[in-house]
Amino acid sequence: MDLVLTGGKVFCADKALTVAEALAVRNGRIAWVGSSAEAAEHVGTKTRLLELEGRTVLPGFQDAHCHPAEGGMELARCVLNDANSREACLAAIAAYAADHPELEWVSGSGWSIDSFEHGTPSREDLDAVLPDRPAFFDNRDGHGAWVNSRALALAGITRETPDPSGGRIERDAEGKPQGTLHEHAMELVRKLLPPTTAEEWEAGVLRAQDTFHALGITAWQDARIDHPLHLAAYRAVAERGELTMRVEGNLLWERGSGEEQLEKLVAQRAQGSVGRLRIRGAKIFVDGVLENFTGALLEPYVGTDNYGISMFDRTELERAVVVLDSHSFQVHMHTIGDAAVRDALDALDAAMRANGRRDSRHHLAHLQLVHPDDLPRFAGLGVIPNVSPLWACHSGYVDELTEPFIGPERSARMYPFGSLVRAGARLAFGSDWMVSTSDPLPQLEVAVTRVSPETRELPPLLPDEALDLPTALRTFTAGSAYVNFLDDETGTIEPGKLADLVVLDRDVLDRGSGPIGDARVLLTLVEGEAVHADPALGW
């Protein structure tokens, strides 16, 4: 054998939830799984032996919904993800701008709507630190942007500018643009930013790959590929043999472009198989998010007649899904509100009736609100709930920016992970990085406790919707592998599968080892080769 790991807890993530003690790897694949007592038989003169000392081994984590290429590029810009107040954001922006006098535009991302009154930062605040240069900052969830007066002026946005379709320009009491742009209104300014280069895209992919491997992740599903340099960067990195991540890519189905875009998507998909890269999916944004009233609801937001924004009318959505399904795309839909979820399930139902059923593994991402009538439809249609576990806890987003506007009845069924599992659905987890951290361990903590590791003193959010730890671990490995079409080769620890593995610093199955969010990744293997190793391990 090339490698033997022994003396640990090997969580196999198979259906039986087997926990073994040791495993052996040969030629990049798992060759044997068993007890520590038997492991010695597999150790030869050339075998590398790793004593686990009780630590946990899991299949490599798989992130079923994230935006790694853009995230990797963002890491080179002004990152506000750790700035959790208005003052901290402005200080970080001022420091970054001072460090980068060469930049024509100052841009970045990661501000949080709960750092600002009404979730809408003002142009005046940004003008105070950036009076001369235009500035553009995406918020953490990617559904809004903060701009300064210079940027608004360059884009020609005034009190007279109408809201674009699918978007909204936040305005002050006098009707003047206030500084926050929602959804499609962001494009009015974003299109003026200097274009990104091929080198920046490739560096973004590689930076994200390093970041994810350090967190134990060995496969990701890129939820949206719509820039020509994005696919080209993946291909270039894969062709050079530098892609150690298994990548499933989704091409964007653009609203308003209709069926004419199909030919282009089919041609791009045909280019998408190099090394560990596969393109199989098409992504559709069905709605926005609840915090800015763009999530689509079956009943209006409290005290309004606003049902949110459906990006497509129902027949248009159904037509898109039927056509994509008939061309064997895996359809991946962003669905936050209960109306978006219902429209998406109806469209998938129509596609299966029109085209027949195949092993399509269509999936709906995020699922903040699902009407109880729709819960059993996931199992019935074989549609995968691809949920973002980190969001299912009390936070400013939930308590201040969502619950008051959807009311108590709907608030009592937010992020219904437990209900979906009880209704027979096959869950997958996706971080939505850089919207949220890509670290699977805090995400797992929220999945099992419904409490954020950052605010462990808070009560759980709807504890009946929590998952038990083995189910959550299996969701982040085998569950995500299934929606990534990688379950034949990865996602569980079984003889014959690829040795994509992660070693954690403790026995996470032992309740005495503390919250799983405190655990750390020591070693990440792809086909038996280390792609991340903590120096403490002496690898």
Residues that bind Zn ion (CB under 5 A): 223, 432
Q: Would you give the distance in Å from CA 144 to the centre of its chain?
A: 17
Question: For residues 96 and 433, which CB has a smaller minimum distance to Zn ion in the complex?
Answer: 433
In angstroms, give the least distance from the CB of 482 to Zn ion: 19
Question: For residues 203 and 289, which CB has a smaller minimum distance to Zn ion in the complex?
Answer: 289
Biggest CA pair distance of the chain:
79
Q: Would you give the distance in Å from CA 88 to the centre of its chain?
A: 25
**Which residue stretches of 223-313 are H helix?**
228-239, 262-270
- State the Cα–Cα distance between residues 26 and 31, nearest whole angstrom: 6
Which residues, 6+ apart, have CB-to-CB distance to 474 below 8 Å? 13, 17
In angstroms, give the least distance from the CB of 314 to Zn ion: 23
**Contact (Cβ atoms closer than 8 angstroms) between residue 369 and residue 341:** yes
What's at 525, amino acid-wise?
L
E strand or H helix that includes residue 161: none
Nearest CA among 501, 470, 535, 490 for reference residue 24: 501
In angstroms, give the least distance from the CB of 419 to Zn ion: 22
Question: For residues 310 and 431, which CB has a smaller minimum distance to Zn ion in the complex?
Answer: 431
In angstroms, give the least distance from the CB of 365 to Zn ion: 6
Question: For residues 123 and 184, which CB has a smaller minimum distance to Zn ion in the complex?
Answer: 184
- How many degrees, rounded to 5, is the angle at CA 382 between CA 377 and CA 386? 85
Q: How many helices (H) and strands (E) does the chain have?
A: 18, 24
464-487: buried (b, 16+ CB within 10 Å) or exposed (e) per residue?
ebbbebebbbbbbbbbbbbbbbbb
**Contact (Cβ atoms closer than 8 angstroms) between residue 332 and residue 284:** yes
- State the Cα–Cα distance between residues 482 and 533, nearest whole angstrom: 27
In angstroms, give the least distance from the CB of 207 to Zn ion: 18
For 254, phi then psi, to 5°, come to -85, 135
In angstroms, give the least distance from the CB of 432 to Zn ion: 4
Question: For residues 64 and 223, which CB has a smaller minimum distance to Zn ion in the complex?
Answer: 223
Question: CA neighbours within 13 Å on the CB side: how many for 351?
Answer: 30
In angstroms, give the least distance from the CB of 277 to Zn ion: 19
In angstroms, give the least distance from the CB of 412 to Zn ion: 26
Peptide bond into 434 cis (omega under 30): yes
- State the Cα–Cα distance between residues 328 and 360, nearest whole angstrom: 7
Written as six digits, the tokens of 334 are 């962003």
Question: For residues 223 and 236, which CB has a smaller minimum distance to Zn ion in the complex?
Answer: 223
194-207: buried (b, 16+ CB within 10 Å) or exposed (e) per residue?
eebeeebbbbbbbb
In angstroms, give the least distance from the CB of 386 to Zn ion: 10
Question: For residues 325 and 432, which CB has a smaller minimum distance to Zn ion in the complex?
Answer: 432
In angstroms, give the least distance from the CB of 534 to Zn ion: 29
Full strand arrangement of the beta sheet holding 19-20? 19-20, 9-11, 56-59, 501-504, 521-526, 529-533
Question: For residues 151 and 333, which CB has a smaller minimum distance to Zn ion in the complex?
Answer: 333
Question: For residues 223 and 383, which CB has a smaller minimum distance to Zn ion in the complex?
Answer: 223
Question: For residues 125 and 432, which CB has a smaller minimum distance to Zn ion in the complex?
Answer: 432
SS3 205: helix
What's at 363, amino acid-wise?
H
Question: For residues 62 and 178, which CB has a smaller minimum distance to Zn ion in the complex?
Answer: 62
- State the Cα–Cα distance between residues 249 and 135, nearest whole angstrom: 30
In angstroms, give the least distance from the CB of 272 to Zn ion: 19
In angstroms, give the least distance from the CB of 142 to Zn ion: 7
- How many degrees, rounded to 5, is the angle at CA 483 between CA 478 and CA 488? 55
Q: Which residues pair with 66 in a beta bridge?
A: 222
In angstroms, give the least distance from the CB of 308 to Zn ion: 17
Question: For residues 134 and 385, which CB has a smaller minimum distance to Zn ion in the complex?
Answer: 385
Question: For residues 292 and 524, which CB has a smaller minimum distance to Zn ion in the complex?
Answer: 292
Written as six digits, the tokens of 406 are 């959807």
How many residues are listed for the chain in this entry?
Answer: 539
- How many degrees, rounded to 5, is the angle at CA 323 between CA 320 and CA 326? 145
